[in-house]
Amino acid sequence: MNESTLPIYFAPLEGVTDGIFRRTHFEFFGGVSKYYIPFISPTQHLAFTSREQRSVSPAENAGLPVVPQVLAGRASHFAGTAKLLFDLGYSEVNLNLGCPSGTVTAKHKGSGLLRDLNELRAFLDEVFTSISGGSVSVKTRIGFESADEWDAIWAVLRDYPFMECIVHPRTRSQFYKGSPCTDAFARTAEARFPCAYNGDLNTLSDCRAIAKRFPHTGALMLGRGLVANPALARQWQGGKGLSKLELKAFCDALLARYEAQWPHKAVLGHMQETMRYILCCFDEPKREQRALRKVRTVEEYQGVIDRLFAECELRAEPCFALDRMSL
């Protein structure tokens, strides 16, 4: 696909890319073809928690191109939830085969389903025989312990009619650190199965390199890089780069919208977390970074943010960097 028309997906980031964030990003920046909603995790009775209900409610997502994601260890839980989501009007539901959390993998969910490929096959057999009413995509890691597991996992996944396979080429053991194994993705992209690439696409040149190396990739999925620099997808589509003025307006709008709906304490924790990513884009924000960790009220938070925008400049290439998160 032509590089400039390659669509960008916003990766699901639980605790960051909630409904308010998605709507505000769409309104201020755009450039994203699909926003993947952070996972919902059905229990036996397929009941959604109130938070999950809100996150997938068509009203909450009206006008946004969103895809719900389901984390399940039992095929009946996945298929039953997918049916509820198709009935709500969604045409695609994404299966999470990537979550690395120990409490999740212990229940054979997320990347825990990659450990036993007979179990994975049985899961997918049941899902695809019982599901109707929409399409299923998958977001997967390339192994539990080692990238050597990928060929066998991929041989299973490509036997099923997924509408797309989004590959985050890290193993479960890597969590979100270390380098993605692009060589493993190479074998996926060559197979001409609809696939998308996810992992460490933090700059335009990162995106270009993957698009160039893997011309059969159907889309690029960006997570932390797009939270840190919310203009990156727009810029990839030929639009303008990030400006400090619009970033400030975006941060202020997020704060106001969370405040209108959430209790102060939740607003504060959430904005502190989101700003950890955005601060990566600034030159020398150390004083503000330290201050931000210590704020106790929304007013104190606003004071630090106002000072940040008044006193610090954006870096020449504003982008996410893992080592800047903990400065």
Ligand X SMILES: Cc1cc2nc3c(=O)[nH]c(=O)nc-3n(C[C@H](O)[C@H](O)[C@H](O)COP(=O)(O)O)c2cc1C
Q: Using CB under 6 A, which of 39, 123, 162, 185 touches ligand X?
A: 39
Size of the site for ligand X (CB under 6 A): 22
Q: For strand 165-171 and strand 195-198, is the pairing parallel, antiparallel, or unpaired?
A: parallel
Stretches 80-88, 117-125, 217-225, 298-306: which one binds ligand X (CB under 6 A)? 217-225
Q: Is 38 in the site for ligand X (CB under 6 A)?
A: yes
**Helix, coil or strand: residue 43:** coil
Q: Give me the sheet containing 69-70, strands edge to edge.
A: 66-67, 34-36, 8-10, 219-222, 195-198, 165-171, 135-143, 92-97, 69-70
- Whole-number minimum distance, CB 71 to ligand X, in Å? 7
Look up tokens 């504060």; give the residue: 268
**Which parts of 247-306 interact with ligand X (CB under 6 A)?**
none
Cα–Cα distance measured from residue 143 to residue 184, given in angstroms and rounded to the nearest whole number: 10
Q: Using CB under 6 A, which of 31, 68, 169, 199 touches ligand X?
A: 199
Please state, in angstroms and as integers, the Cα–Cα distance from residue 186 to each residue in 31, 142, 163, following that order. 26, 12, 19
Stretches 184-192, 222-230, 237-245, 308-316: which one binds ligand X (CB under 6 A)? 222-230
Cα–Cα distance measured from residue 73 to residue 52, given in angstroms and rounded to the nearest whole number: 18
Question: Residue with CB nearest ligand X?
Answer: 223
Q: Is 61 in the site for ligand X (CB under 6 A)?
A: no
Q: Using CB under 6 A, which of 82, 201, 251, 254 touches ligand X?
A: 201
Q: Is 195 in the site for ligand X (CB under 6 A)?
A: no
Q: Is 225 in the site for ligand X (CB under 6 A)?
A: yes
Q: Is 147 in the site for ligand X (CB under 6 A)?
A: no
**Helix, coil or strand: residue 196:** strand
The tokens describing 312, both together, are 């610090």
Per-residue binder mask for ligand X (CB under 6 A), 69-108, x = binder: x--------------------------x-x----------
Nearer to ligand X, 42 or 225 (CB): 225
DSSP 100: -
- Whole-number minimum distance, CB 112 to ligand X, in Å? 13
**CB-CB neighbours of 269 under 10 Å:** 12
DSSP-assigned beta bridge partners for residue 282: 314
The residues binding ligand X (CB under 6 A) are 11-16, 38-39, 69, 96, 98, 139, 168, 176, 198-201, 222-225
